Amino acid sequence: MIATAAPGTVRTRESSRRWRAVLLAAVAACAACGIIYELALLTLSASLDGGGIVATSLIVAGYIAALGAGALLVKPLLPRAAITFIGVEVLLGIVGGLSAAALYVTFAFIGGSLWVLALGTALIGGLVGAEVPLLMTLLQSGRVAGATDTGRMLADLTAADYLGALVGGLSWPFVLLPQLGMIRGAAATGIVNLVAAAVVSIFLLRRIVGARQLATALGALAAALGLLVTLLVGARGIETTSRQRLYADPIIAYRHSVYQEIVVTRRGNDLRLYLDGGLQFSTVDEYRYTESLVYPALGAGAHSVLVLGGGDGLAARELLRQPGVGQIVQVELDPVVIELARTTMRGANGGSLDNPRVHVVIDDAMRWLRGSDAGFDAVIVDLPDPDTPVLGRLYSTEFYGLVSQALAPDGLMVVQAGSPFSTRTAFWRTVSSVQAAGYAVTPYHVYVPTFGDWGFVLARRGSTAPVPSVPRDAPPLRFLNQRVLDAATVFSGDVAPRPLEPSTLDNPRIVEDIRHGYD
């Protein structure tokens, strides 16, 4: 005789499985939202404040500490786990969804956003930390599971939590940030967070809480949802107004790529490019910078030139003017910069990146160099200042060692090295790092009004330092001539050479140097 379970028992088990599946799905969704909030804070830190190692470490460590604090603080509320969970999700959706907008607006209108960043990290971490104890309590309640399978419940909960974190971690850089931007991306995440809480309320908690409590919870969720939908709709206006306050001139183009925030402004004939808020050039005086960067690297007559960075196309423009230069390889990481160079900035660069002599490669400079053994007559390293670890690796001794493999035996390399006045230590650190890679170097500097005193490093492999010179067949130049270049190699006492340890991949000293500025 075969025993069968009572129909009511079967229905109870099926209901329990459905309850568990929906609750675990909510766990995954909330975990995805939690990791997106943290990534949004890290992205904002990088875009608004430079996002150095210290700031990143504080955000990550503070978030993890807040997770533990939230788990402890929620303990007295565990007897009312159901309604507390809804309250936590409402708060998390609002705080997380508004975090990017609050940080951006604070930075634009007040100028300092560190306290908002710290507060947002603490609140989001604490609320996310409260989720797991609450969900575990719900899973172990009498209507869900017996106490005998606690380990199984914990395994399911942990798996759903980590899987959701994976989905959230991939969604931010590949979907939300490039498609919606920081403010709208965070708001959309908050909406997902609230929808997940609403699903739990409608399909699960109606069996646990009373009708009045359920109505209150749904009302709070609806109000929070309306707030975030309003933010999502009006985000572009908030972004435009806040962003324009950061720039003196009208913004004519804005992009937020996977790598950086790109802004182009124009006032009259003055076109300016900003990357993550840092000025890259002004058409009022960029010719001073560009001529000083390009022509000393050409020596007696370079034919092939490699440009690392310089996605604005200005270096390529000057190279195309130089007789004899027949091949230019332009390696730029961000395709959005190239797109803007070919459209919005075309008037400044003369359409140089569409010239058949210019071959544009979209790649990381260090990765591209590892796979290249071409012998270029000149290499121009025109990269943004190393104020982040990602850029710091491109100012390391190891990086310059890779560049040497791409140089012809008598080829010259020139590196934009920042200001020997306002970032003196960083400038001489670059000189030391190039020397440590086996080059003989000649530093020089010129005055660029929008930048101030600006320096470069001219280098050649071996022990004989190169003498900076303007090619005899150079086209007519607006700023650079041999007398100017000769004077450029002289440094006054307040910016005198300093022997420093090189910056390496293992110890990127230059990142902190440039953050400290003049010392």
Binding-site sequence positions: 260, 312, 332, 364-365
Distance CA 140, CA 163 (A): 21
Per-residue DSSP letter, 357: T
Helix (H/G/I), strand (E/B), else coil: 435: helix
382 is a catalytic site residue: yes
Tell me which H or E stretch contains 360: strand 358-362
What's the 3-state SS for 155-212? HHHHHHHHHHHHHHHHHHHHHHHHHHHHHHHHHHHHHHHHHHHHHHHHHCHHHCCCHH
Distance CA 413, CA 434 (A): 10
- Is-contact 217 80, C-beta < 8 A? no
Distance CA 363, CA 162 (A): 31
- Residues of each annotated binding site for spermidine: 312
Tell me which H or E stretch contains 270: strand 270-275
Burial class, 146, CB count within 10 angstroms (exposed 0-12 / middle 13-18 / buried 19+): exposed
332 CB-near residues (< 8 Å, 6+ apart): 309, 310, 311, 338, 360, 361, 362
Q: Token pair for residue 35? A: 């990791």
510: nearest Cα among 430, 439, 432: 430
User: What length does the chain have?
Assistant: 519
Single-letter residue type at 435: Q
What would the DSSP string read from start to end of 107-150? HHHTS--HHHHHHHHHHHHHHHHHHHHHHHHHHTSTTT--GGGH
Distance CA 86, CA 77 (A): 12
Helix (H/G/I), strand (E/B), else coil: 443: strand
Burial class, 243, CB count within 10 angstroms (exposed 0-12 / middle 13-18 / buried 19+): middle
First to last CA, the chain: 90
| Residues paired with 448 in a beta bridge | 452
Indicate which residue of 334, 382, 385, 453 is catalytic: 382
Q: Token pair for residue 80? A: 């009312």
- Residues of each annotated binding site for S-methyl-5'-thioadenosine: 260, 332, 364-365
Helix and strand numbers (H, E) in the chain are 17, 11
Helix (H/G/I), strand (E/B), else coil: 244: helix
Nearest 5°: the CA angle 122, 229, 166 is 50
Helix (H/G/I), strand (E/B), else coil: 17: helix
Residues designated as active site: 382
